[in-house]
């Protein structure tokens, strides 16, 4: 399993699809919170990451999340751009929205720790 980072642009519209997309993306294993060496970070807007067997699997999860977001906003959500890339354990993220990991939500993997912070920590909502 490999970490993949996806950056994207969704076409704006009413209602706005971004929040429903992030909700759907989380259930597909794509997060906007990333645990680095020292901090848990909010990734840049329109960036998510997850752990998948391949870039194709990451793209498929992304596509399913877009479709679910479309259902939530009752319209087709158009992806204007998307880039999927493999990231290494020593990837570096700088974020103005970061904090030391809360021990209540630290687990054995970066993904589990990031997921629990994204779901439970009001700082990242």
What DSSP string runs through 46-103?
TEEEEEESSHHHHHHHHHHHHHHHHHHHTSPPPEEEEEEEEE-TT-----SSEEPPPG
The per-residue pLDDT for range 52-98, each reduced to its tens digit, is: 999 999 999 999 999 999 999 999 999 999 999 999 876 788 899 99
CATH value at residue 93: 3.30.70
Q: Please report whether residue 92 resides in a domain.
A: yes
Mean pLDDT of the chain: 95
In a domain, 91, yes or no: yes
Is the residue at 124 inside a domain?
no
**By residue range, what is the domain housing residue 19?**
2-119
The structure's pTM equals 0.94
For position 91, what pLDDT does the model report? 73
């Amino acid at each position: 399993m490999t970490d993949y980072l996806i950056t994207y642009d969704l076409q704006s519209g009413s209602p706005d699809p971004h929040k429903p997309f992030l909700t759907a993306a989380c259930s597909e294993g794509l997060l906007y919170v990333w645990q680095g060496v020292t901090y848990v970070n909010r990734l840049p807007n329109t960036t998510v990451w997850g752990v998948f067997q391949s870039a194709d699997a990451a793209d498929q999860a992304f596509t399913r999340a877009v479709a679910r977001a479309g259902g939530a906003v009752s319209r087709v959500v158009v992806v204007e751009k998307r880039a999927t890339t493999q990231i290494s354990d020593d990837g570096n993220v700088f974020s103005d929205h970061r904090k030391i990991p809360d021990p209540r939500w630290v687990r054995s993997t970066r993904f589990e720790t990031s997921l629990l912070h994204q779901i439970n920590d009001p700082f990242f909502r």
